[in-house]
Structure 1
Amino acid sequence: MTIRPKISKIEEALQQLGVTPDILSQEERDGLDHDGYVVFTDVLSPVQLEGLREKYEELMAREGMNAGKELHQEHGTRRLSDLVNKGEIFDAIYTHPKVLAAVHHVLQRDFKLSSLNGRDAIPGEGLQALHADWGTREADEQFHVCNSIWLIDEFTTENGATRVVPGTHRLAGSPSDYLDDPAAPHPDEVLIVAPAGSVGVFNSHLWHGGTLNRTTHPRRALHSYYTAREHRQQLEQAEYLRKRTDDRISPAARYLLDV
């Protein structure tokens, strides 16, 4: 029987995955603290992008109406779920050192992957109300969740790019406590407009939402979502873990999945 090395703390996992103390610039740290988000460009190479696009469409065609059912299906979008188990190409997404460094900076404690999904708004759809990925939070309460958006296609002002309202991660309560219509445009909102291959990391207590895709083309993205380790995962990774995934991934990846 093979005895696998075990990791017992997040710092060890991060070190093994290439996270170094200087991997984030001070400007990037300040952006996460003050605005609640940061955008990294040129994270994915053209070869990686092409591979991810091909895999994305392969899974959509294979799963059809069942696509996304493991976690969530949403009107007006195509969704994929449980991507940890659907191809080696996704391993580099949830274990990327710069993204993990940003998540650790936000959460400031041990954490794990909550889910790894795909989402794209079909033409003419995709508008979401401003929301936070957590329930009501007190102003002095620690942060519990952090998300990353991997841009498989370019995000533009017209194709349903995610909008965020900088600084709202520090507010108590939820958007509905402040807004008459969370689906309406917000005067302070900012669109995450960036080229394909970029990654946006945002404190998930930040008000955010998808916008309307006004083009005739898809706007595909992956969402690698993390939670503090004391909370439940959106998708219970231990329940879904497949043997071929378990055989492939590193001890540090297993720690992130909490399996």
Structure 2
Amino acid sequence: MNIKEKVSSIKEAFTLLGVDESTLSAQEKKDLDEKGYVVFENLINEKWLKELKEKYEELVAIEGNKGGTEVHQEVGTKRLSNLMNKGEVFDGCYTHPKVLAAIHHILKRDFKVSAMNGRDSVKGHGLQALHEDWNDSFFEEGVVEQDGDYRNPNDPFNVAISLWMLDEFKEDNGATRVVPGTHLKKAPQFCIDDRMADHPEQVLVTGKAGTVVVMNSHLWHGGTNNISGEPRKVLHPYYVAREFKQQQDQRKHITKETYDRISPAARYILDVEGAF
């Protein structure tokens, strides 16, 4: 396929980006199936990591209290959004073959980027209620049945996310907590009373800078308090099954500069083909 041709399926995009059945190991697939997440250590090389951190800090300084306004702001955090339009350095985050293979293993069908945000909680902040990244209205609309604690095994997974650790995630600087296996359950608001409290089965996802985690976004998870005050910058390329709306309308926000720079495969994954 010529690189200039329009890409019309995730299969074509994967061919161009080098994603195939061997991209994930059997153990990585098992982790996604059973735990609901997988950890890729050292996925970001040293040079790229340095560039990502510098760009993140530059954008935080420029945007100040307006950071994250394209999608979401949060008290006590340095948020960024719309990162696909804020530097070539971010292009490889939402198109990384390992990440895309893991996202597809979770969703098992065509998908697109929903948003790409950044989050860095400051000292004394960052605790989030246990949640899944799926709109509650879908439960009300009957997309997911509410009887019992477990999902209907025939219900598909609709969202998945990757966490790009630009700083080391430690137990005391706001590392993400997850409850392994709960992607097979209903959303936590239907199963537990106090979602801010520690869960007896929760695990803190720690890792060195350069680590990337891919997570089934139906997994119960949330940020923890940054006790030490050390930075814990993280990027969140977030994906949704292609039949649903994006958290951030990529076609509305895509710039001509970004569109001209990225590949046809990236345009397909952002769902912006023909925007210009």
> What TM-score does the superposition give when structure 2 sets the normalisation length?
0.91
Residue deviations 1:199-250 (CA, integer Å, cap 9, x gap): 0100000000000101122210000000000000001011001011011000
Q: What is the rounded CA distance, in whole Å, between the counterparts of 2:35 and 2:66 in structure 1?
A: 37
Unaligned runs of at least 5 residues, structure 1:
none
The residue that corresponds to 1:91 in the other structure is 91
Residue deviations 1:93-122 (CA, integer Å, cap 9, x gap): 000000000000000000000001100111
- Over the aligned positions, Cα root-mean-square deviation in angstroms equals 1.1
> Alignment partner of 1:149: what SS?
strand
Q: How does 1:17-28 map to 2 (within 5 A)?
A: 17-28=17-28
> What TM-score does the superposition give when structure 1 sets the normalisation length?
0.97
The residue that corresponds to 1:163 in the other structure is 177
From 180, 200, 209, the counterpart of 1:196? 209
Residue deviations 1:25-47 (CA, integer Å, cap 9, x gap): 11100010011000000001111
Q: Does residue 181 of structure 1 match 2:194?
A: yes
Letter aligned with residue 217 of structure 1: E
The residue that corresponds to 1:218 in the other structure is 231
The residue that corresponds to 1:253 in the other structure is 266
Q: What is the rounded CA distance, in whole Å, between the counterparts of 2:15 and 2:119 in structure 1?
A: 30
Q: How does 1:27-66 map to 2 (within 5 A)?
A: 27-66=27-66
> Alignment partner of 1:84: what SS?
helix
Letter aligned with residue 201 of structure 2: D
Letter aligned with residue 154 of structure 1: E
The residue that corresponds to 2:75 in the other structure is 75
Letter aligned with residue 196 of structure 2: A
* Aligned residues with identical type, % of pairs: 56
> Alignment partner of 1:14: what SS?
helix
Residue deviations 1:52-91 (CA, integer Å, cap 9, x gap): 1110011011111111101100011110000000000000
Unaligned runs of at least 5 residues, structure 2:
146-150
Q: How many residues align?
A: 256
Letter aligned with residue 129 of structure 2: A
